Amino acid sequence: MKPQDSARSRSVWARLWPRRLGWRLALGFGLLLALMLVALAQASLQIRAMTGLTQRFATQDMQRLLRVQALSLYTEGASNALLRLMNAPREHRIPEYTEVDERNRRIDGIVGSLDGHLVDPAQEQTLQRLMAARAAYFKAFIATVDEIEGNDPKAAMQVYVAQVAPALKTMLMESNALINRERERVEHQVAEAQQRFEQLAIWVAGWSVLAIVLALVLALRTTRNVVAPLAQLEAVALRIAAGDYSHPVLATSAEEVDRVGQALATMTGAIATREQEIERLAFRDPLTHLPNRTFLLEPVTGQRAGNNCLMLLDLARLKTINETLGFATGDTLIKEVAQRVETVVKRAASSGLIGGPQPVVAHLAGGRFAVSLRATDRPTVESLRLQLDQAMAQPVLCSGHSVDLSLAYGFADSPQGAPRLVATLMRNAEVALHVAKQAAVGFAWYSEAQEAARLSHLGLVSDLRLAVATSQLQMWLQPKFSLKTGRAVGAEALVRWQHPQRGFVSPAEFVPFAEQTGYIGLVTTWMLGEALRTLALWAPVQPELSIAVNVSTRDLQDPQFCRRVKQLIESHGVEPQRLRLEIVESGLMQDPQSSVAVLHALRALGVQLSIDDFGTGYSSLAYLQQLPVSELKIDRSFIHRVDALPGTQRLVKTMIEMGHGMGLTVTAEGVETEAERDTITRLGCDVMQGYLGSRPLYGEALQAWFASLEPVEYAI
Ligand code: C2E
Ligand code: CA
Ligand code: CA
């Protein structure tokens, strides 16, 4: 058979062989049953035929053989009986006659019964010859009897020898021939029957073997058709259990198994969709659709092998935007930043700037994003930052507002480029981001030195008590000017620390730690004393000037604070409204309820209150309205380059309008250029503070500045 022939016959077979297991089993077992029935019918026919044969053999053939044998015996007996008659005396002849007659009658009876019942024509001829010999014998017998009755034994003997004996001999011969023939027939029939029995045995054995082979083939095929696809199903189920959802559809030869396979595929699809949904809910941020913090910190998803660098990105002023332009605008900004960051990072990965596994861009919270990547060197990361900054240059237009985007960055990598836990990198990047924001620089790398600096600050703080006692602190004053008149309206008091060993220490460095340890109270009290002392000096010349002292959140939590302020004011004999207290917006939110109460108590003393660093905190407008403040100080990050940033101008304008709406004086911090000043003036700002007006002043410089002020006519 050629290969294509075998393939064709296979395909024919495949077409005929049903695909449903049920049909296959029915077909197989039906075939087996049909085979058994045919075998049974055939066997019963054979047995019936053999039963007929046996019956005929017993009722006809054997009977005939026996009769023929009896004929032979009677013929011999007839001869003997005749001889005895011939030799018997007359008085004894009667029984002999009876004997001879009996024999003759028997012979006649047998011959008569055989006549017409012999099947073989040759036998029939033999019988005819026998009957002829019988007729001759009768004739001779009568003649013999005549001689006997004539008392001529000699003549009787002669007739006997000449006629009776040959006739009897012929009869005997013919009957023997009949016997032989019948015996042959019987033997032949026995042999035939035996052969038939053997044939039947072979036949039954053949069918049995055929049925067994068929049953075996059926069992094998069923096993192949059921067990093999079931094993495939099992393998697929195990794969699904292991989380491999690829190619679950089976192509077996059994329709039912394929249907189960399709059901599995449907189930797998449903599981995969649900898993994706669960994963999406657990690991995706719904706003940006970016991975979230959980994703990043999760060992399986976030800890990409080989990622050794984490960039933290912080969108500046998000809360202010939320407050002033609404949360929808804030959300639009976050989405826009997410998209731009993702685009830049993808481009950097595909251009080969970043190697290793695909970087992960995650949205952590609010305006906070993280990029986890493999960085070979720091310049690469910094060039990625430049690309990100470029991507942020275009302001975002949302609901009619053009909003500028500004990012601060904290970077953390691992020494020698070894992979690190994302949690560690994240913590370090937070420290770096904090440093970057504090120093008002664009970005910072985490370093052990930052950690050391933190620790050294702790040491510094313990020196603070001594600093207060030994006059290492100085109060510098930074003047504030009215934008309408250009005149000085007051000054902000800024602390400076001349450390005997360390030299000048910036408040940005020690104030946060002094706040954490509670030592800030000492500083505030000292500064309040200095400010009030100065106010008392100024009052005769410039009674309108005020001095603002920065108050920490920790001060507001101190139950003695209000009383202390009152005592200080009274002891210096200063009009309370000349003293301002600046409270940072973010600090207020740590304990909004008690803050409100303390502020009201302070206001009740007659002291003026300002909200410092406005725009950087998280306060809601509704909350600010409850506060008894009179000044809003817009954080200097909004003022920096405000003239060149239309989006920021809108923000600042909204803030100013909001402040005016609440009846507050609005002050701009950190004004460094004339352009910035002109812009904020145009936007309606009331007061400015910054290097443009004056740097913080101390000592002689302060004296000189004070002396240069125009005297107030109605003073003194
Ligand atoms: P702040 O209250 O926002 O103070 C204004 C800061 O901006 C001062 O820094 C000032 O020197 C700086 N500054 C003023 N004009 C400009 C300008 O045109 N451009 C730039 N780039 N900066 C300008 P300073 O004195 O280093 O104080 C830093 C922060 O330390 C203050 O921020 C305030 O939060 C805190 N601080 C200062 N003195 C005290 C104090 O006596 N008590 C408390 N609790 N905190 C203080
Ligand atoms: Ca301040
Ligand atoms: Ca400020």
Q: Which residues pair with 609 in a beta bridge?
A: 581
Residue 7: pLDDT band with limits 50, 70, 90:
low
Tell me which CATH code domain 21-224 carries: 1.20.1420
Query: Which ligand 1 atom is at minimum distance from the Cα of 633?
Result: 3
Instruction: Count CA within 13 A, CB hemisphere, residue 160.
Output: 19
Paired tokens of 677: 């000043």
Q: Which residues contact 572 (CB under 8 A, 6 or more apart)?
A: 529, 532, 533, 535, 536
Mutate to test the pocket of ligand 1, among 550, 633, 638, 642 (most ligand atoms within 8 A of CB): 550
Q: Which residues contact 296 (CB under 8 A, 6 or more apart)?
A: 302, 360, 362, 364, 370, 372, 422, 426
Residue that wins the pLDDT comparison between 500 and 676:
676
Question: Measured in Å, how far apart are the chain's first and last C-alpha atoms?
Answer: 130
Paired tokens of 325: 């332009």
Distance 678 CA to ligand 1 centre (A): 22
Residue 113: pLDDT band with limits 50, 70, 90:
confident
In angstroms, the CA 694 to CA 488 distance is 10
- What pLDDT, in 10s, does the model give residues 544-595? 999 999 999 889 988 899 999 999 999 999 999 999 999 987 777 667 777 8
Residue that wins the pLDDT comparison between 330 and 399:
330
**Where in the chain are the domains?**
21-224, 293-446, 456-707
Q: 111 pLDDT exceeds 80? A: yes
Give phi and psi for 292, each to the nearest 5: -105, -170
How large is the average pLDDT for residues 600-629? 86
- What pLDDT, in 10s, does the model give residues 245-286? 776 666 777 777 778 778 878 888 888 888 777 777 788 888
Paired tokens of 270: 């449903």
Query: Which ligand 1 atom is at minimum distance from the Cα of 669?
Result: 15
Instruction: Count CA within 13 A, CB hemisphere, residue 651.
Output: 35
The confidence score (pLDDT) of residue 496 equals 92
The confidence score (pLDDT) of residue 715 equals 38
Residue 713: pLDDT band with limits 50, 70, 90:
low
- The helix (run of H) or strand (run of E) holding residue 649 is helix 646-661
Distance 432 CA to ligand 2 centre (A): 24
In angstroms, the CA 145 to CA 160 distance is 10
Which residue has the CA at smallest separation from atom 22 of ligand 1? 670
377 DSSP assignment: -
The CATH-assigned architecture of domain 456-707 is Alpha-Beta Barrel (3.20)
- Helix, strand, coil % over all residues of the chain, rounded to 5: 65, 15, 20
Which residue has the CA at smallest separation from atom 23 of ligand 1? 670
What CATH topology corresponds to 293-446? Alpha-Beta Plaits (3.30.70)
- The helix (run of H) or strand (run of E) holding residue 312 is strand 309-315
The confidence score (pLDDT) of residue 362 equals 94
Distance 481 CA to ligand 1 centre (A): 16
Strand, coil or helix: 545: coil
Query: Which ligand 1 atom is at minimum distance from the Cα of 475?
Result: 41
Q: Which residues contact 17 (CB under 8 A, 6 or more apart)?
A: 24
Q: Which residues surround ligand 2, an ion (CB under 5 A)?
A: 550, 582, 612
How large is the average pLDDT for residues 154-177? 86
